Amino acid sequence: MFLGGMGCPVSRLAAKFAFFPPRPATYQVQKQEEGGKVVVKSSVIPHDDASLDVRLVKTKRGNKIVAFYLRNPYARLTLLYSHGNAVDLGQLYELFVQLKVNLRVNIMGYDYSGYGASTGKPSEPDTYADIEAAYECLQTEYGISQEDLILYGQSVGSGPTLHLAARLPRLRGVILHSAILSGLRVLCHVNFTCCFDIYKNINKIQKVKSPVLVIHGTEDDVVNWLHGNSLWQLSREPFEPLWIKGGGHCNLELYPDYIRHVYKFIQEMENITTEIRLKKIRQSLHQKKNSIRCCGIRCWRPKCPKCFCQPKCSCLQCFCLPKCSCPESSCQPKCSCLQCFCLPKCSCPESSCQPKCLCLDCFCQAKCPSSDCLCQPKCLWSVCLCRSKCAGPDCVCQPKCAGPDCVCQPKCPGPECVCQPKCPRPDCVCQPKCPIRECVCQPKCPRPDCVCQPKCPRPDCVCQPKCPRPDCVFQPKCPGPDCVCQPKCPRPDSVCQPKCPGPECVCQPKCPGPDCVCQPKCPGPECGCQPKCPGPECVCQPKCPGPECVCQPKCPGPECVCKPKCGCSQCLCQPKCPCSGCCCQPKCGCPDCFCLPKCPGCFCLPKCSECFCLPKCLGCSCFPKCPGCSCLPKCSECFCIPKFSGCFCIPKCSGCFRWPKCLECFCKPKCLGCSCKPKCPGCLCKPKCPGCLCKPKCTRCFWRPKCPECSCKPKCLGCSCKPKCPGCLCKPKCTGCFWRPKCPECSCKPKCPGCFCKPKCPGCFCKPKCTGCFWRPKCLGCFCKPKCPGCSCKPKCTGCFRRPKCTGCFCKPKCAGCFCKPKGSKCSICRCMKLLFCG
C-alpha cells in the first residue's frame, strides 16, 4: 500500500524531469472556416505542399494533438514516427520530407500532448493515448492497416512505440532509434525495475512479434549504447542492428549508413508476405502453449540461456540471439549458433569467426577479400555490401550515390556500378535477392533475366544473356508488320518482319510487298527488289507518289518521303536529306522518325513512347556519368524513357553496351566484327540490334548497293565472310556468313546458331546455350576472356565475380579474397565451378 500510494506522485515527479517541450513552438495551426481544413503556419514549412495533410486528432484523455501526414504516391508501407525529446513537428518537417523521398514510404509524425500546437501536458499515459489516437487516424482516414505499418520510435518515442507494437501482432516492423530500456536506467545503472519507473521498454520488447531494427550510436552520451544492445538481444525477431561508430544521440541521420540500412530494412519488410507473418505468429503461439510450468506459475523458458561474452572476453561486439544454443557464450570455437553477428573490430581471440565455428549467417570481416567489404557467405538479406573504397567487383555500387536507391557506398570509385537514383516507382529498382547481378530486376517481370518496363504486360523486354532467344530484341507492343526484319528471327513480336521475303530486307510499316530495301543485284527470289529500279541510290521509282519509298542520302530529287509537312509514319530520313523539313529536325512533327547518331532529334520506335534522346532532351532523366550504358557508337545520345527517371546512358559513351571496361560489348571503338561505321550515312540499323554492329574502320556501309558479293570493301578489317571476300559481311548464301549455323571461321560448334564471333575476336559474345563457347570448352552462358582483368561469371556460377587478378579462370584454386561459399570464415578451398579450368 505504501509503494502503491507513493507510485503516482513519484511517477508524476519523474515525468517533470523526462519531458522538455520546446518553448515557444516552431509552428501554429489554424482551422479554416470554409471546409474546416487545418493549415499550418511556419517559416520552415511551405504552405503549398500538396503532399502534406495537417490533422487535429482527439485522444481518449481529452487532448488534441497535431499530426502531419506526408504522402508518397509510390509508397507501399507507412511509417508512424514518434519523435524524441525537446523537438516538435516544425523542426522535423525537413527530415520527414527526406525520409519520405529516400525510403519511399508514407510518413505520419505527431506531437505529444503539450508539444508544439498540441494541447494538454506531457506524461507517460498521455503519450500512450497520443500514439493510439494517431494509429486510429491512420486506420479511419487513410485506410492503413497494421500489416502495412512500421512503427518508428526515437529516444523517448521508443516508449509509446513499444507500447503500441506490443498490442499489434500483425505489425509489419519496428524501428528503435537511440531507444531506452527505461527512464530510470538512463539516469543510473540498475538491474531491476522500480515501481515508479517510466517507459519500461525492457518488459515490453519481449511482447513484440514483429521484426525489430535497432539503431544506436557507439558514442551516445545521453542514452548509453548498452540500452540499444540489450533491446536488440531481448527482441523476439531481431533484424540486423546498426551500430554507428562515433554516432551520438541526435546526429545519426547525418551518417550515410543510416539511410541505407533503414531502406534495406523497409525493402525486407516489403518482401515479407502476410502469409509468412501469420505462420510465424502461429508458431510462436504454439511454443507458448507448450511452455513449462515452474513453481505453479506458467512461464516461458527458452531453449538455452541468453548468451553473452564471458567476463574475461574482451570482445564487446559479439552477441548471440535468444535462440542461440551456445551453453556459455558466442565466443566459443564450437559455437553452433545459427544467427551470430560478429562486427569488424572483434578483438576476442575465440570469436565466432573461427574455422570450426558453424555460424552460417555471420557478418564477419576478418577474412574478407578487402577491408572495405562486409561479406556474407550465406546471408539472409543481401549478398555483399562494400565500403567507400570498394575495390572488389563483386559489389553493386554507385559513384557519388547519395540516396538509398542503390546498394552501395557514397564514394565508390569503381566503374562496375549500376544504380537508378530517385526512381519514382517501386518496381524499377533491383531487389535485394536478385539472383543476377548484372540486370535490373523488376517485381512484375516474367523472368529475372529481362529488363522490363514499369508496367510490362507481356514479355516486351530487352533480354539478358540467359534469355531463351538472345538474338532478338523485343519491341514493346510491336503489332507485327511495323518491325525491322532480322535473319532467321523466330518470333513475330521481336525485331522481325513476318511477311518479309528475305532476311536481309528492311520493310516499311504497311509495306505491300516489293517495296523493301535490298541488294541491287539480288539473284534469288528471297529479296524484295523492284525490277525497274532506276539507279543505285534509290530503291523506289524516281516519281514515287506513295509513302513506301526509301531514299538514299544522295537522292537529289524532291520525290522523297521527307517533305516539309511530313504527316506519315513511314518516313526514313538521312542526315544529309536535301529537304528542309525532314523528320530529323528537333521539332519533328512525325512521332515515328528514324534519325542517325548525329541527328539532333530522337530515335523513336514505331508507335512507341520509348525513345533514344539526347541528354538535354525533355522528358529524359540522364545523369552524366552513368557507367552502365546502352547507347550509339561514338555519340552523345543516350537511351532513356520519357517520364521515367531510370536511365542507362553516358553523354560520352564510346559505344560500350554495359560496362566501360567490358570487352564483350556490342559496339566499341576498337571492336572487330562490326558491319558499319558510326558516320555511315546509309545505314538503316538500330543501335541495340544484334544483327547490326558498328565498325570504326569500315569504309563502306552494310546497305551500300555497289558491292556485288559483300557489303564492304575487301580491305575492311574485322568482318566475317567467305574466303574470297576477306573482312566483309556476306550474303545469306555465303558459307562464312555472320549468322550461318555452319560457320567455319567461328570458334563455336556447328550447332551453335546464335554465335557471331571470330576465333581471335577480343569482343566475342556467345549464346547462353552454346556448348562450344570459344572462351571455355564447357562454359555455359558466360562472357569473359581468359586474361580478362575483371571477368564475370554467369548467375549460377558459384565462383567469384570479376576478379581483379583473374588469370585464366573464374577464380583461383586457393581463395585469395575470392567470393566463395565456405562453411566457415576461412576460405581454404574455393568452391568454384568444376566445369572451368584454371590457368
Which residues have CB under 8 Å from 2's CB, separation 6+? Answer: none
Asked if pLDDT for residue 251 goes beyond 90, the answer is yes
**What is the per-residue pLDDT for 738?**
41
**What is the per-residue pLDDT for 246?**
94
Task: Tell me what the mean pLDDT of segment 711-718 comes to.
Answer: 40
Q: Tens of pLDDT along 807-832?
A: 334 443 333 333 433 333 333 333 33
Closest of 494, 496, 490, 497 to residue 513, by C-alpha: 497
Does the annotation mark 155 as catalytic?
yes
Q: Tens of pLDDT along 317-332?
A: 333 333 333 333 333 3
76: pLDDT confidence band, cut at 50, 70 and 90? very high
**What is the per-residue pLDDT for 12?**
62
* CA separation for the pair 152, 674 (Å, rounded): 56
Residue recorded with cell 531481448 = 234
Q: Tens of pLDDT along 199-227?
A: 999 999 999 999 999 999 999 999 999 99
Q: Which of 155, 330, 351, 747 is catalytic?
A: 155
**What is the per-residue pLDDT for 479?**
39
Asked if pLDDT for residue 193 goes beyond 60, the answer is yes
Alpha-helix residue ranges (DSSP H) falling in 313-471: none
Neighbours of 615 (CB within 10 A): 17
286: pLDDT confidence band, cut at 50, 70 and 90? low
Residue 93 amino acid letter: Y
CA dist list (Å): 57 to 21, 36, 110, 466: 19, 14, 9, 55
Asked if omega into 24 is within 30° of 0 (cis), the reply is: yes
Q: Which of 88, 130, 220, 449 is catalytic?
A: 220
**What is the per-residue pLDDT for 27?**
94
Highest mean pLDDT among 99-103, 478-482, 514-518, 697-701: 99-103
* CA separation for the pair 440, 446 (Å, rounded): 13
Mean per-residue pLDDT over the chain, rounded: 56
- Please, are residues 82 and 158 in contact by the beta-carbon 8 Å criterion? yes
Domain 35-184+196-284 has CATH 3.40.50.1820: yes
**What is the per-residue pLDDT for 284?**
62
**What is the per-residue pLDDT for 19?**
87
**What is the per-residue pLDDT for 59?**
97
The string of DSSP codes covering 474-498 is: PPTT--SSSS---TT---TTSS--T
* CA separation for the pair 180, 154 (Å, rounded): 9
Q: Tens of pLDDT along 526-573?
A: 444 444 334 444 444 334 444 444 444 444 444 443 433 333 333 444
Asked if pLDDT for residue 313 goes beyond 60, the answer is no
Asked if pLDDT for residue 442 goes beyond 50, the answer is no
Q: Tens of pLDDT along 561-620?
A: 343 333 333 344 433 333 433 334 333 344 334 433 333 333 333 333 333 433 333 333
Task: Tell me what the mean pLDDT of segment 301-314 comes to.
Answer: 36
Highest mean pLDDT among 24-38, 223-237, 384-398, 766-780: 223-237
* CA separation for the pair 786, 760 (Å, rounded): 12
Q: Side-chain half-sphere of 459: how many Cα atoms within 13 Å?
A: 16
Which residues have CB under 8 Å from 222's CB, separation 6+? Answer: 155, 178, 186, 248, 249
Alpha-helix residue ranges (DSSP H) falling in 542-596: none
Number of helical (H) and strand (E) elements in the chain, helices listed first = 9, 23
| Burial tier of 607 (Cβ tally within 10 Å: 0-12, 13-18, 19+) | middle
* CA separation for the pair 607, 612 (Å, rounded): 14
Which residues have CB under 8 Å from 50's CB, separation 6+? Answer: none
Task: Tell me what the mean pLDDT of segment 710-731 comes to.
Answer: 41
**What is the per-residue pLDDT for 22?**
92
CA dist list (Å): 133 to 64, 179, 207: 10, 22, 21
- Please, are residues 451 and 462 in contact by the beta-carbon 8 Å criterion? yes
Highest mean pLDDT among 58-67, 568-577, 594-603, 732-741: 58-67
pTM (2 decimals)? 0.39
Q: Tens of pLDDT along 163-180?
A: 999 999 999 999 999 999
Task: Tell me what the mean pLDDT of segment 342-361 comes to.
Answer: 35
Q: What is the DSSP pairing of strand 603-604 with strand 611-613?
A: antiparallel
Task: Tell me what the mean pLDDT of segment 27-52 comes to.
Answer: 88
- Please, are residues 727 and 715 in contact by the beta-carbon 8 Å criterion? yes
Closest of 110, 93, 79 to residue 177, by C-alpha: 79
Asked if pLDDT for residue 188 goes beyond 50, the answer is yes
Domain-wise residue ranges, the chain: 35-184+196-284, 308-366, 535-607, 609-665
Task: Tell me what the mean pLDDT of segment 677-704 comes to.
Answer: 38
**What is the per-residue pLDDT for 511?**
38
Q: Which of 83, 177, 249, 261 is catalytic?
A: 249
**What is the per-residue pLDDT for 32?**
85
